[in-house]
Structure 1
Amino acid sequence: MNFNVVVATHHKTGTVWMATVFKAITRQLGAAYVDFWAHYGRLERELTSPFVLLNHDSTFLQHADILRRRDVRILHVIRDPRDVLISAMHYHKTSSESWLHEAAPGKGNVSYQQRLNALATPYEQYVFELENATSSTIDGMLEWQYGSETCLEVRYEELWQDRSMALWSDILDFLGFDERERELCRSCFWEHSLFGEAGRANRRHARSGEAAQWKREFTPELARAFVYHFPDALQVLGYETDERWIEELEKAAKPRVDGMARDP
């Protein structure tokens, strides 16, 4: 490894995927794998070169200096916020993560998961999620400091489509792995990817890894609620240039008579 590696993700942007891949890589190469939040109070002791440091929400707080180190290269992964919302809502309905089951102060001692599951319709559940946990995830993607020469920005969707591992090879080159190491890293990526070896195994964590789920799940009503809460998020992150995607959803939702869409 010519550089130490920082992997910065966000909730439901491939965090578990990247963690699994890079844990396998560090085992193969004899490098240290460090979970940012698990070792937050003692990072200085844990970051012994060579290392891979993974931060699941890309917030570095008092340790932001790590991102400016000359011996570090960064991989930052984002995902279409609409798919983040879909994945997070379904995950939070059934996950055993402890915070989902803690009584929320001022909420009648009802947990996040109980409040989410008590809502009657998918629309209400998505809006609740959008206004709560997923709101901070989208904010985190928007607030990331883009443009660093030592950081490679990658979309989850690009990784998901990378069956040839061409993008993954470019990532490995940017992160400073040598030729021998890159071969090992490619094997680890394929073995632990949802479209590779892991796709044939039981995946308890991942409901669905495919991209653009929002095209099936979003209604025009949900799309308008999303834009109300995050009016320019899709444009800032480069997923849309305008709001024509809502118009397409509205067209698809129109009732049809004799094979023709009925005008309102």
Structure 2
Amino acid sequence: MKQNVVVATHHKTGTVWMSTVFKAIARRLGANYVDFWSHYGRLDRVLKTPFILMNHNSIFARHASELRREDVRILHLIRDPRDVLISAMHYHKKADEPWLHERISGSHESSYQQRLNSLATMYEQYVFELENATGSTIEAMLDWQYDRPNCLEVRYEDLWSDRSLSLWRQAASTLGFEGSELEVCEKCFWDHSLFGQASRANRRHARSGEAAQWKSEFTPELAEAFVHRFPDALQALGYEEDDRWIESLTVWPKLQAQGCTAR
């Protein structure tokens, strides 16, 4: 490796996918794989070159200087916020992550997961998620600095459709892998992708890796709630040019069957 690599993702934008891929790459190439938040307080001591540093929420706080190192290349991965909302809501309803089972601040009775599951309709569950955990994720995607010269910006959707691995090979090369290292990167990507030879553990974690799930989940009402909360997010992230996508939601799909009525 001629460069150290920083992988910056966001919740439900392919974090588990990228972590398994890059763990495998680090293992095969003898690089030092470091989970950012597990080593936050002692990062200066554990970052031994060559390293691959994984940050699951792309917030670097007092370690932001690591992104400006001349020997670092960054892969930053985003996803359509509408699909992030869908994936996160369903995941948070049943996941066993500790924070989901801690009492909500100001509440003496319920945890985040309990509160989410107590809501009567999927519409209410989505809005709760949008105003809380997923809202923070979307804000983090919007707050990212997108003009870093050493950063490769990639969309989850593009990687998901990259069955020929052409985009992945280009990304690996940009990150500084070369020669036989590129072959290792290609094999690790294929072995740990849901459309390739993904492990059973990865398949259990993922509800669905498909892109544009929002087209079959969003109702006009949910779309309006989304745009009210994040009026310019889709445009800022390059997923829509305007709000005309709402007009395409002519069919009331799953939410209506779950008790979502006009309000």
- Which TM-score applies when normalising by structure 1? 0.94
Q: What aligned pairs does 1:144-159 form with structure 2 within 5 A after superposition?
A: 144-159=144-159
Deviation readout 1:21-67 (Å, 9 max, x if unpaired): 00000000000000000000111111100000000000000000000
Deviation at 1:92, TM superposition (A): 0.2
Distance 2:35 2:59 in 1: 13
State which drifts further: 101-110 or 188-197: 101-110
Distance 1:41 1:110 in 2: 31
CA RMSD of aligned residues (A): 1.3
Q: Tell me whether 1:56 sits opposite 2:66 in the alignment.
A: no
SS in 2 for 1:39: helix
Q: What aligned pairs does 1:90-105 form with structure 2 within 5 A after superposition?
A: 90-105=90-105
SS in 1 for 2:5: strand
Q: Is the 8 A contact 2:194 2:209 kept in 1?
A: yes
Letter in 2 for 1:216: S
Q: Tell me whether 1:117 sits opposite 2:117 in the alignment.
A: yes
Distance 2:29 2:94 in 1: 36
Deviation at 1:135, TM superposition (A): 0.6
Deviation at 1:199, TM superposition (A): 7.2
Distance 1:244 1:63 in 2: 40
Letter in 2 for 1:51: F
Identity, % of aligned positions:
71
Distance 1:175 1:216 in 2: 35
Q: What aligned pairs does 1:145-224 form with structure 2 within 5 A after superposition?
A: 145-198=145-198, 203-224=203-224
Q: Tell me whether 1:87 sits opposite 2:71 in the alignment.
A: no
Q: Where in structure 1 are there 5+ consecutive unaligned residues?
A: 255-264
SS in 2 for 1:54: strand
- Which TM-score applies when normalising by structure 2? 0.94
Letter in 2 for 1:41: G
Extract structure 1 runs of 4+ deviating beyond 4 A: 199-202
Q: Tell me whether 1:45 sits opposite 2:31 in the alignment.
A: no
SS in 2 for 1:239: coil
Distance 1:60 1:204 in 2: 29
- Aligned counterpart, 1:236: 236
Q: How many residues align?
A: 253
Structure index of larger Rg: 1
Q: Where in structure 2 are there 5+ consecutive unaligned residues?
A: 254-263
Q: Is the 8 A contact 2:34 2:51 kept in 1?
A: yes
